[in-house]
Amino acid sequence: MMTGGRIEGIILAAGKGTRMLPLTDHLPKPLLPVTGVPLLEIAAEKLLRCGALRLHINLFHLGEMVREYAEEKGWPVVFHEEEELLDTGGGIGNMAADLMGADHILLHNGDVLSSFGFEEALDFHIAQQALVTMILMKPEGGGRTPPAAVTVDAGGNVLDIGPSPVDPSRALGYTGMAIIAGDALEYFPLKKKGLVPVLLEMISGRHGSVAGFDASAADDAAWGEIGSPLSYLDIHRMIMLEKVLFDSKVPPPPMPLRTGDGASIDPGAQWNGFLDVGKGAHIEVNTFLEDCVVMDGAVVRSGARLRSAIIYDNDVLEVEK
């Protein structure tokens, strides 16, 4: 648990998840399971481990499903309904009244995974006396680090945010995790607005008001975003084949096969690469699966030959690499 005054947590969970269609037609992206554990649960328990006294979750697309899951878990949650999508800046502004009194707010996007927490970043944030500290990583390409968009000076101050940095050598990628000082809430509006315009206003008002903490210094730093079906499969590949430890909630299994409660695989089925089988799912005889995720309750019928696919509701999403 971290120290540094009253800490609250935010999980951004209101997006439509359009890049994950058709999976997100009936399941909100924060409830997509990673080796059987929903993204929402991974983020929520990380924030609680890091000292958040309450979680604030915004709701829009299939929000009742997110609400029901969080209530079943018994987390200390305040829900924030959005009648229209408010984007990140507006979403935080919509929460501001319930966040008053917090010294620090830990922000976590609902679709990211990482091996790092907020502890070192909070120490840095307090030392910098920043309004917002963005948790960043060095871009290495391949989709496994966020794209370079945040220019940081040698003192850890964010100078600019944009896709075309003037000095690429100082550009880092934003992980979807940040720390917000309670005093910064006044900058977040009660209307639709992105996070970047809010941060640029802070920067223009006072140099050093937005800081950047490089979390990629750790040898085992790992990050991933569930932004597309391809990245969803790649996260599973990293955990199950490459044995990447993103979080204690999703430890790499001993072998690249995981089966949920009540799942069954016929002895006549074959698989290669990795195979993640959800609760109550069934794989019938004379099937071949390679690098696949079988969602809860799905059935893989006899004769199926699938590679790089997500099987859900008795349908198949084949993913092009």
| CB atoms near residue 206 (< 10 Å) | 10
* Confidence (pLDDT) at 1: 43
201 plus 308 within the same structural domain: no
| CB atoms near residue 249 (< 10 Å) | 18
Split into its structural domains, the chain has a count of 2
128 plus 270 within the same structural domain: no
What phi and psi, each to the nearest 5 degrees, are found at residue 22?
A: -90, 5
188 plus 301 within the same structural domain: no
298 plus 178 within the same structural domain: no
Range of the domain at 294: 256-318
| CB atoms near residue 138 (< 10 Å) | 15
Residue 179 belongs to some domain of the structure: yes
* Confidence (pLDDT) at 145: 87
* Confidence (pLDDT) at 166: 77
137 plus 219 within the same structural domain: yes
263 plus 220 within the same structural domain: no
CATH number at 163 reads 3.90.550.10
* Confidence (pLDDT) at 141: 60
107 plus 168 within the same structural domain: yes
pLDDT along the chain (321 residues), means of 10: 78 92 92 98 97 97 96 98 95 96 97 94 96 94 81 95 84 96 96 96 96 88 93 97 96 96 97 98 98 97 97 91 70
Residue 233 belongs to some domain of the structure: no
Residue 86 belongs to some domain of the structure: yes
* Confidence (pLDDT) at 11: 98
135 plus 270 within the same structural domain: no
* Confidence (pLDDT) at 142: 58
CATH number at 304 reads 2.160.10.10
Nearest by Cα to 287 from 249, 255, 316, 254: 316
Residue 245 belongs to some domain of the structure: no
